[in-house]
Amino acid sequence: MKLIFIEFFIVISFIFLLFIIFIIRKRLIKKVMFLEIDEDLKNLAPEEFFLNILKREKFTKTVNYARFFLFLLFTVFIIFPVYKEYKDYSAFSITPVIPVFTWFVISSLFLLAFISKKREDKRISEMLDNLEKFELLKCAKADFMIQNKIVETGLLGNDIKFGSKFLFVIYPGYIIPYYWLDDVKIVENPGRYGSKFYYVNVILKAPFKPINITFAKKEICEKIRELLLKKKYKSQKIDKIYKK
């Protein structure tokens, strides 16, 4: 009975933590989008500014510590007691397959999340280096600091901001100059049990790779595509005027 109570407590704590994570992440991203950020952050150099904005290191560390704590609880209070119970009271040499398998699955998910985070951090750093190479970061920061059009997607952490010269996606982190746009397409992906989700396939001019921004609703994808194509057309007109 005591073991069941501990299991129940860990599961409820994990669900509660996920709920809190979603709320905090949404609030943090809202603050960033509407420029409710510290003056110290605003005074950072462009690269450091966007690293802070896009990676959200402090929040990520807190979440990772909390997850690791729950993982330890699961290991100490479920795996070890179950194994001991089988060892002490079972007449047969039975391996506690289900708890050990669950522990293995959770460990694999932790490893996958760690690898994914490392890759995302690397991608963000490479993107900022690339923008710096084209001397666009300073311009991007100035554009971000203006209250431009923000499209709320209804999904946690996936709202996007249309600057006058750049598209900003906070989660996952992207900064896209409009004049890099080549085409924008909407792609439909079938999910489980007949469900569907959509993503905006942003095709950039060579040598850049296409970018996929996922949304749940087709109407949002269509709205974003329309806005992006308008911005692309406007940037092309401005570019032609400068060339003349």
Cα–Cα distances (Å) from 127 to 26, 95, 208, in that order, read 24, 48, 10
Average pLDDT over residues 46-74: 77
pTM: 0.79
CA 73 to chain centre: 26
For 127-171, the DSSP string reads: HHHHHHHTT-HHHHHHHHTS--EEE--SSTT--EEE-SSEEEETT
Distance CA 29, CA 86 (A): 47
Inform me whether the pLDDT recorded for 126 exceeds 90.
yes
Q: pLDDT digit string (tens) for 157-180?
A: 678 999 999 999 988 889 999 999
Which amino acid appears at position 170 of this protein?
A: I
| Residue 49 amino acid letter | F
Distance between CA atoms of residues 35 and 29, nearest Å = 10
Give the CA diameter of the chain: 89
**Mean of the pLDDT values across residues 100-127?**
82
What are the beta bridge partners of residue 150?
161
User: Is beta strand 160-162 parallel, antiparallel or unpaired with respect to 181-190?
Assistant: unpaired
Residue-wise pLDDT tens digits, 217-233: 889 999 999 999 999 88
Helices (H), the chain: 2-33, 39-42, 46-55, 57-74, 80-89, 97-133, 137-144, 218-243
Looking at residue 143, what is its pLDDT? 96
Query: What is the rounded average pLDDT for all residues in the chain?
Result: 81
CA distance 165 to 142: 10
